[in-house]
Chain A
């Protein structure tokens, strides 16, 4: 049927001036805006989902502790003797040391990442 030369000629002839010259760039701007909207929407949805899940877990925990389980909490008693103070001091020293090491690790990782981004090769 492709031999319908008159029909093919009419259909293929340019009837109008076509699209405006900046059509593609305008469209791409709208597509980029749409993409930003989608990202924002998905992050808001994610946040809502996490908040919902957390709230339901907390409510479940409260419900279970209040109505199902009947035990009372006893906080440990802190004895401030000479020996215990030395033990607390040592624990704080170890915690401080870990804190320093983790901070340094994070600092050097960050520095390395920036260096990698500047020189991808």
Chain B
């Protein structure tokens, strides 16, 4: 129903009612900014990239076919914009590929990531998320913050749902390694 409303709004915007775009700005500016600031930690840059995301979305609005939700489409633009920015700014993320993540038990990860009352752990977890690569950060932000289903996360990252599941498990294990290192 919501998606139908959004498609109607898009149609009206394309017919010239530009003011209606404010509906999307009001609704999505905050979550898009939250995603971008996780990838690009500078406040000014994140705000500029959020603005770029919406401008790109407006320019390409006629290419939105409605085969996914508008939010998924917008998150994909935001993700691509943020990834391009990390390349331009030459931001390098620590690689954890050398670690034997398979050796870490799922139970240990579950136990650690469930301790919501441990303030020290929460702080370490926050800085550990910053050290993840762009894809893992996006994955975690979309899944835990936006509570998006795996299929939608997969659509944003242009991956298969199975791939997303595997990457999500690996990202959790990477966080485990980063917290304990």
Q: Could you tell me which A residues sit within 8 Å of B by CB distance?
A: 1-13, 15-20, 23-24, 26-28, 30-32, 34-35, 38
Partner of B112, one of A6, A10, A34, A38: A6
Surface stretch bound by A, among B82-90, B95-103, B122-130 = B122-130
CA distance A23 to B29 in the complex (A): 9
Which residues of the partner chain A approach B59 to less than 8 Å between Cβ atoms? 34, 38
- CB-CB nearest in chain B for A36: B18
CB distance from B151 to the nearest CB of A (A): 15
Q: Classify the interface of chain A: helix, strand, loop or mixed.
A: helix
B18 contacts A35, C-beta separation under 8 Å: yes
Complex Cα distance A15/B145, Å?
13
Q: Does B9 contact A (CB under 8 A)?
A: no
- CB < 8 Å neighbour of A11 from B55, B121, B129: B129
The reply to whether B37 and A5 form a contact with Cβ atoms under 8 Å apart is no
Cβ contact of B175, chosen from A7, A9, A27, cutoff 8 A:
A7
Query: What does DSSP make chain B's interface, helix, strand, loop or mixed?
Result: helix
The stretch of B43-51, B73-81, B155-163 in contact with A is B43-51
Give residues of chain B (92-113) contacting chain A, Cβ–Cβ below 8 Å.
Answer: 110, 112-113
- The contact of B113 among A7, A12, A35, by CB within 8 Å, is A7
Contact: B140 with A7, CB < 8 Å? yes
Per CB-CB distance, the 10 closest pairs between chain A and chain B, nearest first, are A5-B116, A4-B113, A11-B144, A35-B18, A11-B145, A7-B113, A6-B116, A10-B125, A8-B144, A9-B116
Contact among A15, A19, A35, A38 with B50 in the assembled complex (CB-CB below 8 Å): A19
**Is the Cβ of B110 less than 8 Å from the Cβ of A28?**
no
Answer whether residue B65 sits at the interface, using C-beta atoms and an 8 A cutoff.
Answer: no
> Do residues A11 and B140 form an inter-chain contact, with CB atoms below 8 A?
yes
Task: Using A6-B122, A7-B144, A10-B122 as known contacts, say yes or no to A32 and B18 having CB atoms under 8 A apart.
Answer: yes
Contact B113 A6 (CB under 8 A): yes
